Amino acid sequence: MSKSKKRSWAEPYKIKMVEPVRITQPEERERALKEAGYNTFLLRSDDVYIDLLTDSGTSAMSDRQWAGLMMGDESYAGSSNFYHLEDAIRKYYGYKHIVPTHQGRAAEHIISQILINEGDYVPGNMYFTTTRLHQELAGGTFVDVIIDEAHDPENEHPFKADIDLNKLEDLIKDKGADRIPYVCVATTVNMAGGQPISMKNLKEVRALTQKYGIPIIHDMTRVAENAFFIKDREDGYSHLSIAEIVKEICSLTDGATMSAKKDALVNIGGFLAVNDEELFDKARNMVVVYEGLHTYGGMAGRDMEALAIGIKESVEYDHIRARVGQVQYLGDKLIDMGVPVVRPIGSHGVFLDAKKILPHLTQDQLPAQSLAAAIYLDSGVRAMERGIVSSGRNRVTGEHNYPNLEMVRLTVPRRVYTQAHMDVVAESVEAVFHEADKISGLRFVYEPEYLRFFQSRFEII
Ligand SMILES: *Cc1c(COP(=O)(O)O)cnc(C)c1O
C-alpha cells in the first residue's frame, strides 16, 4: 500500500448520548484529595474530570446492549437471558459449562475453594490482586512463573506474559504434581502492564502440564485484547480473525474465570466456565451458597443479556483495533514527551514507571501512590497505584512485598473517551513529570487487612 493510502484507526461508532464531566478547580481538588486520604480509590467521581482509575465496569455499552437490557427476563429460574449467555460463551469461547457470577472475583472464589487444598501451590503468569488472595484464602501459595522480562519495565519483549517453562517445571518437580491443582494463565497480564501471552508459549505450557496431568485455568478477563496482539505480532496468526484466535486460546485451557466488566463490555458481571462435568457439578453447588441460583448467579437477567451481546462485540476486529489503538496513542504520546513508561505499551492502559519518575523516593515512601495523587491534583485525572501498596504483605512474614514494578496505571475505559481527552491526560502527566522533584512521599495512616490498595489512607511525609 502506498503512503498516501494510509488510514489511521478511528472509533467504529458515533456518539448519540453524552454524560457531562465536571472540571474542578485546584483548591477543590486539594480538599478532595486530603479527604480521600491521598488514595484515588476514595475520591468521589464527582470530583474527577477524566477517570482513568480502571477499565473495569466503566465501558460504554452499545445501543444493542441497551436494547438487550429491555429484554431482561427476570425469572428467578431458567431466565431466557441465561441461555443466550450460555450460547454466547459456548460459541465464542468454546467452554462447555458456565456458572454466572456477579463479577470475576466470585468465580475466583468458587474455583479456588473447589480445587485448592491447604499446602498447595498455584503457579501463574504474575499475580493479580483478587486472584492471589482467593488462592491464599483457600490455603494455597501463589508462585510467579512469568518470564523475567515481565519484571523489567524497559524490556521490549512482545509477549511479556509468557510463562518460563523452566520455572514451571522446576516447581512441579520440587513440590510434586499432586500439590499443584492447576496453573493459572492470564490473558493479558494486568500487573505486568497489560502484556500478552503468545500462542506458542501457551501451547508449550499446555504440553508440559498435560505431561504431569495438571489442568490450566484461564483468567480470561482481557482475552480479546490478548488475541489482538497475537494477530498483530505472532507469526502465523495475521490471517485469523480475533474470534478464531480467542477460541484457540480457550481451547488450550480447561476452564476460565471471567470478569466481564473488562473485555466483555458490561458494567457488572462475570462467570466461571469449565469443561469437566464433575467440576461443574461442584461449582453449581457452591454458586447457590454465595451468589444465587445457577441460572443467574448474582446477575439480573438484563445484565446477562447485555453480556451475551457484549461478548460478540468484543471480538469484532474494528472494535478491538480502535480500543487498543487509543491506548497506544496515549502511550506513544507520553513516550514522545520523554515520560518513563512500561514498554511495550499494553492493551488496557499506560503504566507510568514511578521509580524512574520519582527517583528521590524509596519504595517505602510509596512513589506510585504519591504520583497518582500528584496527577489528580494537577488536572483532576484519576489514575491508580500498581506498586507496593497493591502488592500487599507477605502472608507468612507480614512484611511488605516489594515488587520490581512500581507503577501508576492510566487505564482507558472502552468506548468512553476521545482522543482529545487522551491529549489532556498526556499534557497533565508531562507537567507533573517536569516538576516531579517537588512531589513528597506518603505513609500509611490506615491499612486494611485484605486488598489494602482499595481502602488504605495516607498522609504526606
Ligand atoms: C479485574 C480482574 C479480576 C477480578 O475481577 P472483578 O470483576 O473485579 O471481581 C481478575 N483478574 C484480572 C486480570 C482482572 O483484571
User: Which residue's CA is the nearest one to ligand 1's atom 14?
Assistant: 221
Please name the residues in contact with 259: beta carbons below 8 A apart, sequence gap of 6 or more.
Answer: 56, 103, 104, 105, 107, 221, 270
Closest CA to 342 of 84, 160, 154, 111: 154
**Could you tell me if 309 and 451 lie in one domain?**
no
3-state secondary structure (DSSP) of residue 228: helix
**Could you tell me if 379 and 331 lie in one domain?**
yes
Q: Indicate the pTM of the whole model.
A: 0.95
CA dihedral 413, 414, 418, 422 (to 10 degrees): 40
Q: Is 129 a known active-site residue?
A: yes
- Pick from 293, 314, 335: which residue ends a domain? 314
- In a domain, residue 37? The reply is yes
The finding on whether 259 has its CB within 6 A of some atom of ligand 1 is yes
Closest CA to 48 of 17, 21, 19: 21
Per-residue pLDDT tens, the chain, 461 aa: give them.
456 788 888 999 999 999 999 999 999 999 999 999 999 999 999 999 999 999 999 999 999 999 999 999 999 999 999 999 999 999 999 999 999 999 999 999 999 999 999 999 999 999 899 999 999 999 999 999 999 999 999 999 999 999 999 999 999 999 999 999 999 999 999 989 999 999 999 999 999 999 999 999 999 999 999 999 999 999 999 999 999 999 999 999 999 999 999 999 999 999 999 999 999 999 999 999 999 999 999 999 999 999 999 999 999 999 999 999 999 999 999 999 999 999 999 999 999 999 999 999 999 999 999 999 999 999 999 999 999 999 999 988 999 999 999 999 999 999 999 999 999 999 999 999 999 999 999 999 999 999 999 999 999 99
Residue 3 is predicted with a pLDDT of 61
Residue 6 is predicted with a pLDDT of 85
**Could you tell me if 352 and 222 lie in one domain?**
no
Please name the residues in contact with 377: beta carbons below 8 A apart, sequence gap of 6 or more.
Answer: 26, 29, 30, 33
Centre of ligand 1 from the C-alpha of residue 95, in Å: 19
**Could you tell me if 367 and 272 lie in one domain?**
no
3-state secondary structure (DSSP) of residue 374: helix
Order of strands across the sheet that contains 384-386? 349-353, 407-411, 384-386
**Could you tell me if 170 and 98 lie in one domain?**
yes
Please name the residues in contact with 226: beta carbons below 8 A apart, sequence gap of 6 or more.
Answer: 161, 187, 188, 196, 197, 249, 347
- In a domain, residue 163? The reply is yes
- Pick from 290, 314, 338: which residue ends a domain? 314
- In a domain, residue 300? The reply is yes
Q: Ligand 1 atom closest to Cα of 186?
A: 13
3-state secondary structure (DSSP) of residue 271: strand
Instruction: Tell me: cis bond preceding 418? Omega within 30 of 0 counts.
Output: no
**Could you tell me if 309 and 321 lie in one domain?**
no
- List the CATH number of the domain containing 209: 3.40.640.10
**Could you tell me if 276 and 423 lie in one domain?**
no
Q: Is 14 a known active-site residue?
A: no
- In a domain, residue 427? The reply is yes
Of 219, 263, 303, 353, the catalytic one is 219
- Pick from 287, 314, 341: which residue ends a domain? 314
DSSP 57: S
The finding on whether 103 has its CB within 6 A of some atom of ligand 1 is yes
- In a domain, residue 230? The reply is yes
- In a domain, residue 362? The reply is yes
- In a domain, residue 1? The reply is no
Choice from 195, 262, 390 to test ligand 1 binding pocket (greatest atom count within 8 A of CB): 262
**Could you tell me if 303 and 365 lie in one domain?**
no
3-state secondary structure (DSSP) of residue 126: coil
Distance of CA 138 to the CA centre of its chain: 22
**Could you tell me if 273 and 242 lie in one domain?**
yes
The finding on whether 297 has its CB within 6 A of some atom of ligand 1 is no
- List the CATH number of the domain containing 329: 3.90.1150.10
The finding on whether 261 has its CB within 6 A of some atom of ligand 1 is yes
**Could you tell me if 42 and 70 lie in one domain?**
no
**Could you tell me if 35 and 107 lie in one domain?**
no
Of 34, 76, 364, 454, the catalytic one is 76
Print the domain residue range for 197: 63-314
Please name the residues in contact with 119: beta carbons below 8 A apart, sequence gap of 6 or more.
Answer: 139, 179
The finding on whether 190 has its CB within 6 A of some atom of ligand 1 is yes
- Rounded to whole angstroms, what are the CA distances from 214 to 119, 179, 205? 16, 10, 10
Closest CA to 416 of 369, 348, 358, 354: 348
Residue 2 is predicted with a pLDDT of 54
- In a domain, residue 19? The reply is no
Looking at the 3D structure of the chain, how many domains does it have?
A: 2
Pairing of strands 442-446, 349-353: unpaired
**Could you tell me if 78 and 45 lie in one domain?**
no
